[in-house]
Amino acid sequence: MILSCPHCQAKNRVKSERFNDDPSCGSCGQPLLAGRPVALTQANFADVLAASRRPVVVDFWAAWCAPCRGFAPVFEQTAAGHPEWLFAKVDTDANPQLSQQLSIRSIPTLAVFRDGGVVDRLSGALPAAQFEQWLAAALR
């Protein structure tokens, strides 16, 4: 699968069997899956969900959406504090088929996936404390 580095945006090919070995970026050497949300697309979404042994927390967003932009720092801070989960973002404008397939009707929509399936989902931005509470409940 192809993953964009969340640090330098370089494209990296990661074999499915190596996904959970904490791969690093071939360009900058930073970890691909820890500390910052990774960008998922129609092309890599299913592969990442299938390969991840960690729960995947996804923020479905769009650049024009003010609540999405306001929530982005909360999402990034939470990602930095929880390396045990994989945080990802899906641009709904750039991936309309994926948004339609997952019935994303409003943004931001937050979803938690485990073993490839949706555990919980929520529409709307949350303050940091409420986001942490929601994640804790969803990942029990």
**Cα separation, 36 vs 40, whole angstroms:** 13
Q: Which of 5, 8, 28, 65 is catalytic?
A: 65
Contacts with 99 (C-beta within 8 Å, 6 or more apart), sequence order: 60, 90, 92
**Cα separation, 86 vs 64, whole angstroms:** 25
Residue 28 is among the residues annotated as catalytic for this protein: no
Residue 68 is among the residues annotated as catalytic for this protein: yes
Residue 106 near residue 123, CB atoms below 8 Å: yes
CA dihedral sign, ordered 84, 123, 71, 97: positive
Q: Which of 5, 8, 25, 68 is catalytic?
A: 68
**Cα separation, 74 vs 108, whole angstroms:** 12
Task: Catalogue the active-site residues.
Answer: 65, 68
